[in-house]
Structure 1
Amino acid sequence: MTAPLVALGGNGAASEVSPPARRRRLRQLGKRDRLVLGIMVGIPTLIQLVFIWLPMLASIGLSFAKWDGLTFGNIRPAGLANYNFVFNQTPAFWPAVLHNIAWLAFLAIIGTPLGLLLAVLLDQKIRGSRFYQTIFFLPVMLSVALIGIIWELIYSQDNGLLNYVLGTAGKPGAIDWYGNSDFNLWAALVAATWRHAGYIMILYLAGLKGVDPSIKEAAALDGANGRQAFFRVVFPSMAATNVIIVVITVIESLRAFDIVYVINRGQNGLELLSVFVVQYLVGETQVIGIGAAFAVVLLVISLVPITFYLTRTFSTKER
């Protein structure tokens, strides 16, 4: 038993002070609470399991098999034959890997910083900020087919806006931006960046709204200018947003498919791994096992930079 505390009252008389009250016990969940909690957790988990994890595991299994995609009874083991075809019998495989790396580098060096720059500028409470946000975010809401048509009007060899600006429209020296394999990858990257920057802008705007204004004021009182306050205080405080941005940039670059498929079905200098996945899974040359092998290779490649960045980020936080 804990002895009661003794204190002197105003007239010198001793008075007992009761021990501190015990912490209230957490209220036990009732049947209704457990049911609601189970539904809220169970349904998203079931959706993730059915539409993400099971297809991923099935793809890994099918990458070691031969299957015509019609009946499950026709599945036959193939060992490493599908991966041998991917690495050794697909001439455009390594160019596609280099194109995906170039796509990732372009978005990481140009697209994502451009979205960050737009977010910082629009966070300054300038007049018409909502209007500018809508303008820059508009490409994200457009369909890929419409984006392809818009940039076709810009890149057209005979009537394109870009060739008109260069003064070569309709002339023999006009550049075929989509048809020339020396330029079409970079033309597609500019179109992809136009869409990617608006998405990154919205995410960083949300992150900037969540930054505590007091840390900006503290940095200003310490004599930091605007650039120093942003890169040394504000940007590091958005660690959670930065993790999301990195993951999105990697995924967007490695699963890039739609724009190049609209341009020329991912051929003539626009070969990408995602194009091979679609080509062998649902395309004209349908071979399920090879398509699954391409998908697994793409999964492994995408996990490498994401895992490296997350590991470094969380280890830095622990230190």
Structure 2
Amino acid sequence: MTLIAPRPTPSPQSPAAAPERQRAPRIRRSRREKITAAVMLGVPAALVLGFIWIPTVFTVILSFTRWDGIGGLKTITWIGTRNYTDAVDAYPPFQQAVQNNLLWLAFLFVFPTVLGMLLAVLLDRGIRGTRIYQSIFYVPVVLSMALIGFIWQLIYSSDTGVLNTLLGTNVDWLGDPDVNIWSVMVAAAWRHTGYIMLLYLAGLKSIDPSVREAAVMDGAGPVRTFFRVVFPLMKPTNLLVMVITVIEALRAFDLVWVINRGRNGLELISALVTSNVVGEASRIGFGSALATMMLIISLVFIAIYLTIVLRGRDD
């Protein structure tokens, strides 16, 4: 006679006692939904690929060539890195443009960035008429840089300009190479301040109010609370402002091009790219090399921003 041992009763902690997981029902999409999704994803992807990535790749390739744009692709001559070495060593406008771009960057960091942050702090305190002030400071952001250039030309005009009329002077604000770069940077700061204000205002709104209340209970004043508690918590916003400011300083083009096509003291890298590519003596390869330099600098700061942000999320 064979004895059959009874099966052990599974304990509640046993895997056998755990209920089987129910698989999520598979959603079957109709053919029409699939076509709609493909169109909604495919059209923007095709536009980005056709208008951004493909021209970018061709620009990088052309930066290693000599081509005047005439005679088709057969007239393209491969010259390696000669365009880059010529830009650095044998093209004086490029050196002046680098200095002006660095000056532009420092000016944006010191003045409109600090002013935009100060305005955001004041508006975040809920002062009377906050929405009106937000609208007033944000209006320049909506305007294009070319339109801002025309507006400030009316202000800086040496004959009938508003500034000379108020000061009672006859300064050539846009024609004097010792003054015009500062005048144009003030016009750029007028627009950049509202943009920075909006970014910092969004960052302040995202901070938990209990953090500030805890700092106040510990005896910290408004200034100490901001610099010791609030400002460090806005690290993602600070990084975003840094990247945007660098890119704005690099791609500054519309203002100087509207005024005098980036000449006579207003040389910028972006203006040199345009003057070499579509100018009278078209040098597409050389202009592409200048544009590639701008691209590399921008990508460096974007990569730093993404690395820090993603690392912070992992932590």
Assess same fold via TM > 0.5: yes
Letter in 1 for 2:248: E
Secondary structure of 2:267's counterpart equals coil
Higher mean alpha-carbon deviation, 152-161 vs 91-100, is at 152-161
Determine the structure 1 residue equivalent to 2:11: 4
Query: 1:142 offset after TM fit, Å?
Result: 2.0
- CA contact under 8 A between 1:64 and 1:82: conserved in structure 2? yes
Structure 1 stretch 257-266 or stretch 219-228: which is displaced more? 219-228
1:72 aligned partner, one-letter code: L
| Alignment of 1:158 onto 2:159 | yes
SS at 1:295 equivalent: helix
Number of the residue aligned with 2:68:
68
Tell me if structure 2 keeps the 8 A contact 1:119–1:205. yes
Match for residue 110 of structure 2? Answer: 109
Question: CA offsets per residue over residues 179-232 of structure 1, 9 Å max, x none?
Answer: 111111011000000011111112222222222222222222222222222222
Cα deviation for residue 316 of structure 1 reads: 7.1
User: Do the aligned partners of residues 28 and 72 (structure 1) sit closer, same or farther apart at CA in structure 2, a change above 3 Å counting?
Assistant: farther
2:219 is equivalent to residue 217 of structure 1: no
Q: Bigger CA drift: 203-212 or 106-115?
A: 203-212
2:5 matched residue in structure 1: none
Contact 2:236 2:309 in 1 (8 A): no
Q: 1:24 to 1:202 in 2, by over 3 A?
A: farther
Q: Which has the higher contact order (CA 8 A, sep 6+)?
A: 2
Aligned position for 1:137: 138
Separation in 2, partners of 1:265, 1:27: 62
Gaps in structure 1 of 5+ consecutive residues: 7-17, 169-173
Q: 1:183 aligned to 174, 179, 185, which one?
A: 179
Map of 2:188 onto structure 1: 192
> Post-superposition shift, 1:311?
4.9
User: What SS does structure 1 have at the residue aligned with 2:111?
Assistant: helix
Distance (whole Å) between structure 2 residues aligned to residue 36 and residue 152 of structure 1: 48
Report the Cα offset of residue 253 of structure 1: 0.4
Displacement of 1:280: 1.4
> What per-residue deviation string (whole Å, max 9, x for no partner) do you get for residues 84-141 of structure 1?
3322331211111010001111111111121111111112222221111111111122
Tell me if structure 1 keeps the 8 A contact 2:149–2:254. no
CA deviation string 1:157-178 (max 9, x = no partner) = 233333334332xxxxx32111
Structure 1 residue 241: deviation in Å?
2.4
Contact 1:137–1:198 (8 Å) recurs in 2? yes
Question: For the structure 1 residues 250 and 283, does the alpha-carbon distance in structure 2 shift closer, same or farther, using more than 3 Å as the test?
Answer: same
**1:235 maps onto 2:231 in alignment:** yes
Partner of 2:201: 205
Structure 1 residues 86-95 or 249-258, which shifts more?
86-95
Residues of 2 paired with 1:23 and 1:221: CA distance? 49
Partners of 2:36 and 2:238 in 1: how far apart? 33
Give the alignment's TM-score, normalised by structure 1: 0.83
Describe the superposition over 1:242-264 as per-residue Cα deviations: whole angstroms up to 9, x where unpaired.
22221111110011000011111
* Corresponding letter in the other structure for 1:67: W
- How far apart are the structure 1 equivalents of 2:21 and 2:237? 36
Q: Distance in 1 between matches of 2:257 and 2:245?
A: 20
Q: Where does residue 149 of structure 2 map in the other structure?
A: 148
Aligned to 2:79: 78
Once the two structures are overlaid, the 10-residue window that deviates more, 270-279 or 204-213, is 204-213
Question: What are the equivalent positions in structure 2 for 1:299-310 lying under 5 Å apart?
Answer: 299-308=295-304
CA shift for structure 1 position 300: 2.4
- Indicate the residue corresponding to 1:280 in structure 2: 276
> How many equivalent residue pairs?
303
